[in-house]
Amino acid sequence: MIEGAVWRKWVFYNIPLILFVFVLLFPFYWMIITSFRPDGELYRPWNAVNYQPFWTNKPTLEHFVYLFEETDFGQWMINTMFIAVTSTLISLFCGVLAGYALARLNFPFAGSLGTVIFVTYLVPQTLLFIPLAEIIRNFHLGDTPWSLILTYPTFLIPFCTWLMMGYFKAIPKELEECARIDGASRFKAMVYIIVPIAVPGILSAGIIAFTLSWNEFIYALVFLSSPEEKTVAVGVTSELIRGDVFFWGSLMAGALLGSVPVAIVYSFFVEHYVSGLTGSVKG
């Protein structure tokens, strides 16, 4: 990099970067501060005198209490966690096997099947949600977590498969050949030699799949109806808005708590997340 004067560095790098970080993170600050403010402070018009929007001197937990006492928020968290973990595990299982087959085995139509996987990866959930709702109803899965556990893999498996294909392709063929010369079957060479090497890839795929299923909304909105079956995103949307009345404090508290599991998983595995994200783009 060609360095100039100090002021140039500030004008061209530091200040724009600080602005980016500020804008990208401000909504989260706003979420946090809102969830701790008492209603009396929250609902003051923006042009009222002595209005201090950015800080509160009377932090309160009333919104959190409301969340747990008046709604099924705890249950929503458990539901979402169960659905996200189970569908991620199913998708990882299918994706690792399929990715291995497509990346390392010779069989007819391997190339076109890879393209099919890539195209299904691009199918948005909003294209199919209405017929899928009918199918879920016909299978008697409506209003159960299984309606989501079985449908989330439709967008998670293509993603996991695609990512795993990239990881498997990078492993040299000789490794398997050595194992097979030593007498291992193809299947065992896969399970004991190749899959363990791909563990970082599996971890990346798993983390992203987890955040994707935690983020999913339209299927959960359409397939679930009873309050105690809902996921966090749907529960917050439907139970904390009554007609025109928004329970903003509790809404923000719910949004905050609902983001925590994803944020924790992400913070522990940032590098895996980023490598998975960029790996999926490289293709």
Partner 1 sequence: MAVTAVPGMVGGRQPLPWMRKLEDERWLAFTLLLPTAILLGLFIAYPFVEGIFLALSDARVGDPGHFVGLKNFAKLWDDSIFWTSVWNTFWYTAVTTVFKLALGLWLAMLLNRHFRGKAIVRAFILLPFIIPTVLSTFAWKWMFDPTFSVINWTLFNLGFIKARINWLGDPSLAMTSIIVVNIWRGVPFFAISLLAGLQTISPELNEAAAIDGARPWARFWLITWPLLLPVTMVVMLFSVIQTFADFQLVYVMTGGGPANATHLFATYAYQIGIGTGLLSQGAAVSLAMFPFLFLIVVIQLLYIRRVEVR
Give the nearest distance from C-beta 179 to partner 1 in angstroms.
9
Q: Distance between CA atoms of 193 and 145, rounded to whole angstroms? A: 35
Using CB under 8 A, which of the segments 66-74, 166-174, 198-206, 273-281 binds partner 1?
A: 273-281
Give CA–CA dist 213/157, Å, rounded: 12
Q: Report DSSP letters for 141-162, one per residue.
A: -TTSHHHHHHHTHHHHHHHHHH
**Least distance (Å) from partner 1 to the CB of residue 186?**
5
Contacts of 71 (CB under 8 A, 6+ apart): 227, 235, 239, 240, 250
Give residues 233-262 in contact with partner 1 (rule: CB under 8 A): 233, 236-237, 246, 248, 251-252, 254-255, 258-259, 262
Query: Which residue in this structure is represented by tokens 């509790």?
Result: 250
Does position 146 bind partner 1 by CB under 8 A?
no
For the chain, the residue count is 283
x-or-dash string of contact with partner 1, 190-209, rule CB under 8 A: --x-----------------
> What DSSP state is assigned to residue 36?
T
Check if the beta carbon of residue 249 is closer than 8 Å to that of residue 40. Answer: no
Tell me which DSSP letter residue 85 carries.
H
Pick the binder of partner 1 from 83, 157, 171, 202 (CB under 8 A). 157
Strand pairing of 245-246 and 241-242?
A: antiparallel
Least Å from the CB of residue 69 to partner 1: 21
User: Is residue 22 a contact point for partner 1 (CB under 8 A)?
Assistant: no
Candidates 56-64, 95-103, 166-174, 197-205: pick the segment binding partner 1 (CB under 8 A).
95-103
- Asked if 218 is part of the footprint of partner 1 (rule: CB under 8 A), the reply reads yes
51 makes contact with partner 1 (CB under 8 A): yes
The set of residues, in sequence order, having a beta carbon less than 8 Å from that of 250 and lying 6+ positions away, is 35, 63, 64, 66, 67, 71, 240
Interface with partner 1 in residues 162-191 (CB under 8 A): 182-188
* Burial category of 247 from C-beta neighbours within 10 Å (exposed 0-12, middle 13-18, buried 19 and up): buried
What is the smallest separation between the CB atom of 250 and partner 1, expressed in angstroms?
Answer: 11
Under the binding rule (CB under 8 A), the answer on residue 53 touching partner 1 is yes
The residue (of 202 and 236) whose beta carbon lies closer to partner 1 is 236
Residues in contact with partner 1, shown as a per-residue x/- string from 112 to 141 under the rule CB under 8 A = -x---x-xx-xxxxxxxxxxxxxx------
